[in-house]
Amino acid sequence: MGDMIYNVTMVELKQRLDFARIVAKDQLFKIKRKWQLTRSGKNSMNKDPAYNAANPSHFIPMIEEDRYIERVDSFDKMISATHKHFWDPNDKAYIDFDEPFDMENEYIVDPRVFCMELRVPSVANKLNEKQKIKLNNESFRWVLSQILHGEQGALSLSASLCHILKDPGAQEYAANQTREEARHVTGFTNYIKARWGSPYPVGPTLGRILEQIVSSDVVYKKIVGMQMMIEGLAMGAFGMAHQDTNDPLLKTLLKYTMSDEAFHHKFGKIWADRTVPKLSESERYKVEDWSASIFKDLLFNLVNPWEKKPIYESVGLDHKFVADAFINEFDRDSVIKEEMLQSNNIFRVLCKTLLKANIITKRTKKMYAEFVDMEELNAEDDEVSGIEIANEGIATLEKINQTKKVA
């Protein structure tokens, strides 16, 4: 009898201890919950509920019950339109990467646009026609490799937004964009593999900027940096390449990609329209100065022979010779000004994006005005560069998707 009482008591004691441990852990969770809800999003600089964010390391704000029913409808149209521009880079019904192209004898893109080295007399004079074609095509391989790395940055950043955006609509849109960026990574990988075999490494400047944007816990850096600046730059580059390529396969890839990117840019534009006018002076200065710094880094890295050493070696050029030739014969600032007169120039497009978002102001306008007429830019409409190509891509994809649905 005594043993039975002892056993029952021990069982009861064990149960009480187990329960006490659970209660203690729950109390710690409640303390952690209160702390995270108090601290989360303090560094996000948000002025609109649609972009409210939690800290990347704080999950608890994402499971607050009120969050689920406080969804805004700002992104619903973009989300519902996703099916219209769906495409699969591994399905030949959309795009066939087996389409041939004569890489040895044809310029894949216009060398006047994508191969600055051939605009330097002493460099061009050292090469025969086949070497010029190779230099041009390898230079474009380098450009597309940087675009591929940029798409991976956009994929990683979109996924990170899913972890921090508290509004369910914004979070769902970020999830949609993550899926679309993933197919861009696959698409450009397939193209580079088909034409060259493998991509070039990321350039140090772009790699540094992507790492800063993706790793940041500051929402404005993620949205301005990627959704507006990198995406804006990409839309300009895609538009120029679509116009100047001799490869029908590349035209198709760019058209489909732009049909997605036009929506990604809108996500950043909504943030700017709702947030920038409400920023305090000190907050505005932070956004303006950071954006100007990124713009300058990207612009002045446009011609960087030190990043392209393997390309020059492939046609028998010494990279130091090319670097010296650029310094002695290439007026960088004049070329930039001349190029930025074109409506689809990548940096003109980027300037326009920042100007229309009120991120370029009287305080910072002078730096940008060194290269482009800001009054002329301000008078232009608000349409995203390349929207005609994007719309053409959407129309094509709708037809393909309808055919596949019927089949």
Is residue 343, in this structure, part of any structural domain at all? yes
Is residue 3, in this structure, part of any structural domain at all? no
Is residue 45, in this structure, part of any structural domain at all? no
Is residue 393, in this structure, part of any structural domain at all? yes
What are the residues whose beta carbons fall under 8 Å from the beta carbon of 314, sequence distance 6 or more? 134, 135, 138
pLDDT at position 192, please?
A: 98
Task: Give residue 128's domain range.
Answer: 88-406
pLDDT at position 247, please?
A: 98
pLDDT at position 153, please?
A: 94
CATH number of the domain enclosing 319: 1.20.1260.10
pTM of the model: 0.90
Lookup: tokens for 230: 């990198």
Counted residue by residue, the chain has a size of 407
Rounded CA-CA distance 276/284 in Å is: 7
Is residue 52, in this structure, part of any structural domain at all? no
The domain tally of the chain equals 1
Is residue 38, in this structure, part of any structural domain at all? no
Positions of the chain with pLDDT under 50: none
Is residue 51, in this structure, part of any structural domain at all? no
pLDDT at position 148, please?
A: 96
pLDDT at position 214, please?
A: 92
Environment class of 374 (CB within 10 Å of its CB; exposed 0-12, middle 13-18, buried 19+): middle
Instruction: List the one residue out of 113, 120, 169, 121 whose CA is nearest residue 143.
Output: 113
Is residue 271, in this structure, part of any structural domain at all? yes
Report which residue type is found at 46. N
